[in-house]
Structure 1
């Protein structure tokens, strides 16, 4: 079935790209402890791989420390191994059912790598937004060809799509700049 231009769908897809970027950026390490840092960590427990947040509670009791409270004592060692395998550069210290993760200082080189990675994530989000714009523009041209909208309507709607695109790209730039500033801050 042929699709028709839908402003709400275009906006939802562009917004999704920005939300995805913000999620990716929250996982990037800065100088401060952030519980989202451990979101990608998978732990092998009960014969399956599970996200860390399904077997433990993560908190940031201090600016440079994460605390992982494991719910089941038998999962402490698998959680420690999962964190070690994650390549986040963290060395867990076991204290009963709690793992303490002191965050080492970021080197200048590592800060620059992380800032570059944030930029790469932002570029990916912009590409996704531009792809949504391209799809919307093609749908508008098809709608005009099928005589469902006039040429004037198509031009007006294309301007609307471009305005939306500019707004979401600005959101991406703002999120990326804020994260880069946070990463490079000592």
Structure 2
């Protein structure tokens, strides 16, 4: 029973770290990446579809993306979705190809993005601490129901804390790596 609780906490914490990595992919660094446009939804005949399902997205060089819709009539809808997104980029259209040029980041913008990265990291840490709280609560309930001894409870809490410390260390490493990527000119 205790192993189930610890394993559950460990997998949930690992998922929190993975979710942080995924969220940080959307934060724009100096380089172009197809992950920047992954979250954009395009109105495709009345339903919202991910951009990757209605067009091919490719990195043409370090500072630009090219988007080629599968259907010619989708060019306008893709442009509209890009303009409506939170990217702050203006698409340039040439025929059926849409080009997104990513301007160089200013020092001030880099600092702002670093704050965003820190905020995402803190959110992940809060999620991990909540998972720890839930796991320890379940262990305490087992001890109240006399299914485990007090020594087992203390040992389990120590192990859960070690799992938590490792997950928080992972979050710090992910945030630090993204920050270094942001600050590299």
Q: Shift of the alpha carbon at 1:43? A: 1.2
Which portions of structure 1, spanning 4 or more consecutive aligned residues, are displaced by more than 6 angstroms? none
Q: Unaligned stretches of 5+ in structure 2?
A: none
For the 8 Å contact 1:133–1:162, the answer to whether it is kept is: yes
What is the alpha-carbon root mean square deviation over aligned residues? 1.5
The aligned runs of 1:112-131 (5 Å cut-off) are 112-131=111-130
Distance in 2, matches of 1:134 and 1:87, equals 34
The normalised TM-score by structure 1 is: 0.94
SS at match of 1:105: coil
Distance in 2, matches of 1:11 and 1:160, equals 10
Q: Does 1:149 align with 2:148?
A: yes
Deviations 1:122-178 (A, max 9, x none): 000000000000011111111111111111111111111001000000110000011
Q: Shift of the alpha carbon at 1:5? A: 5.7
For the 8 Å contact 1:71–1:97, the answer to whether it is kept is: no
Distance in 2, matches of 1:142 and 1:106, equals 52
Match of 1:181 in 2: 180
- How many pairs does the alignment contain? 184
Match of 1:105 in 2: 104
Distance in 2, matches of 1:80 and 1:101, equals 10
Distance in 2, matches of 1:33 and 1:56, equals 17
The aligned runs of 1:73-84 (5 Å cut-off) are 73-84=72-83
Q: Does 1:162 align with 2:153?
A: no
Q: Shift of the alpha carbon at 1:97? A: 2.1
Distance in 1, matches of 2:147 and 2:57, equals 53
